[in-house]
Structure 1
Amino acid sequence: MPGGGISDLDKNRVLEQWLQWQLRQVQGRIRDLEVQEEQERRRKERARAERSWKIQPKRSGDTALLHRGGCGLYSAQFGFLDREEALIALAEPDIEPCQICNPQTGLQPQ
């Protein structure tokens, strides 16, 4: 190499390596942010469930049950109920509160 300088080819190879390193850094940051976003989505979903209620339909011989949204005894197949809907459901004679999650706790007058 005349004059002892670095060739354009070598400069571009180094630049390529540097850009690949930068790309890996950005891709790692994107993965981290995606994980954080998913965790936040799940946290919000759990918080919404805890502020909601759900009805376990009546099965043969059993009564229908009202559960807190976060109760693990019944996994809702459909949407959650809000406070007013839960109050209406609890007033129905064929719907009883779950004895484990005690859904009426969150239904006291505000």
Structure 2
Amino acid sequence: MSGGISDLDKNRALADWLEWQLRQTRSRIRELEIKEQQEARARERARAEQSWKIQPQRSGRTALLHRGGCGLYNAQLGFLDRDEALIALAEPDIEPCEVCRPETGLVQV
């Protein structure tokens, strides 16, 4: 050895740096995946807020129309659009939820 850095030491340093780079990249990928999931949930919430859902009639209780984002009933099936919600609200055996007030936004002023 002539006082310089050996090829072995250079390659070890390079490997350490590449491992650091890989950790940084994997960390950034995790951050981006989390951000993407959060954005997808936000889009779903926004879509739900612009939709409606029907809670089926059960054990003598009237069926209820809910806003898509109402937490009192988690729909297992798809959401209704505005026209379908208006039709549902006009049905005698479907009442609006008293908590989320689904008729708000349906009635045109």
TM bucket (normalised to shorter chain) is over 0.9
- Post-superposition offset of 1:15: 0.2
Structure 1: 5+ residue stretches without partners: none
Q: Measure the CA separation in 2 of the matches of 1:45 and 1:64.
A: 24
Describe the superposition over 1:42-90 as per-residue Cα deviations: whole angstroms up to 9, x where unpaired: 0011111111000000002101000000111101010110001100111
Q: TM-score, normalised by structure 1?
A: 0.96
Segments of 4+ moved more than 2 angstroms: none
Q: Measure the CA separation in 1 of the matches of 2:29 and 2:59.
A: 50
What residue number does 1:25 align with?
A: 24
Tell me the matched-pair count.
Answer: 109
What residue number does 2:83 align with?
A: 84
Q: TM-score, normalised by structure 2?
A: 0.96
Alpha-carbon RMSD: 0.9
Residues 1:34 and 2:20 aligned together: no
Residues 1:95 and 2:94 aligned together: yes
In terms of fraction of residues, the more helix-rich structure is 1
